Each structure stands twice: as structure tokens, then as C-alpha cells.
Amino acid sequence: MNPETEYREGLEQLAAHYESILKLLGEDPERDGLQKTPMRVAKALQVLTRGYAQDPHRVLTDALFEEKYNQMVIVKDIDFFSMCEHHMLPFYGKVHVAYIPNGYITGLSKIARVVDIFSHRLQVQERLTQQIKDCIQDTLKPMGVMVVMEAKHMCMQMRGVEKQNAITTTSDFSGAFNQAKTREEFMNLLRGESKRI
């Protein structure tokens, strides 16, 4: 099965549940605009959670290249869209990743793929940040990895829980990034011309 283009098992049941949800919300699932909604939502949800059927470690191990370069590699402003596991509402923003190779590098687009896979699962921002870091650390085995995520949470914004434009920042790091100087170098490079979300 190709999780990018095909729907997973359970699509019909998912749609049936959404029909019940519409009724419970006081809607009429038979009215024109809603007839196809349960199936559309079921398909959308399967796309938004397609990361469950994908293996982020394999994405990296399939694209390892031996390389002597041992300076910091930075991939910044990677867009991501995820869903919070508490409200099943979107949170989205930018991820910045840095790692210091230890004999191996990976394709830059593969880092973005790893972000994409983990974010297409139900998440909390803190765990998402950590999973991206761990995946890169475990597969590339670099001198260190650091991940910084900046996100807006629709569950905060739409429900008016906090300031409408609050941005939540999380970070996690390993190895060489335990040194404040190394983290600073990364943060300085990020500040450069980084766009806000």
C-alpha cells in the first residue's frame, strides 16, 4: 500500500462514525451539502494521519551518504502541519533542524520528510520535537542534533484560550548541542533572515 495515494483500512467505518457525529451535532447528514461530508472527512483524516503508515527511520537510512564534512548542517524554515492529540485540531508552523555529521550526511529533503511523517500523526508539540531529534540521532548518529519548533495551535486560537497570536516554541537537542556555545551558534544562524510563521 502506498500511504501517499491510497486510503487505509477502516475508511467506511470512519465515515459511518462521522455521520453519527453530524447527527449528534444537531445536523441532518442527508441534506445536500452534507451527503458526502462523512466520507470526505474520513479521507481527510486518513491523509492527515498518514504518518502512522510510514517509517521515518527508513527514509533516513535509505539516503545515508559517507562524507567527511563535520560542520553544522542547518535546514531551517521547514513548514509543518500537525494535529494536537488533545483536541484533534491543527497546529502548524516552522521547524529548524541542525546536526553535526559524524561521517554520514543525509539528503536535505529527507529531513523535511521525517518532519512530515511525524507531524502526520496525532501529536503534542513537545513530543513531535523530540521524535524528530531522536530519529535523526538514532539513524545518522551525528555528533549532535538540535530541533527548534515554532507553532500556532488552533485549539488555543479558535477556542480563545490564550492570546490569538501566541507562538509556542519548543526545542530539544543531543550531543554537541549540550554545549551552550553550539546551541548559540545555531540560534544565531536561525535569527539571520528567518521568516516568522
Residues noted as catalytic: 84-87, 125, 153, 155
Instruction: Give the shortest CB-123-to-Zn ion separation in angstroms.
Output: 10
84 is annotated as contributing to ligand binding: yes
Which CB, 36 or 86, lies closer to Zn ion? Answer: 86
Contact characters 108-127, Zn ion, x per CB under 5 A? --------------------
Q: Looking only at residues 75 through 104 of this chain, which bind Zn ion when binding is defined by CB under 5 A? A: 84, 86-87
Q: Which of 89, 77, 157 is nearest to 123 (CA)?
A: 89
- 8 A C-beta contact, residue 41 and residue 22: no
- 8 A C-beta contact, residue 15 and residue 44: no
Q: Looking only at residues 147 through 186 of this chain, which bind Zn ion when binding is defined by CB under 5 A? A: 155
By CB under 5 A, tell whether 64 contacts Zn ion. Answer: no
24: Cβ contacts below 8 Å, ≥ 6 apart: none
Which CB, 61 or 168, lies closer to Zn ion? Answer: 168
CA 176 from chain centre, in angstroms, equals 24
132: Cβ contacts below 8 Å, ≥ 6 apart: 95, 97, 114, 115, 118, 147
**Contacts with Zn ion, residue ranges (CB under 5 A):** 84, 86-87, 155
Residues of the binding site: 84, 87, 155
Residues of the binding site for Zn(2+): 84, 87, 155
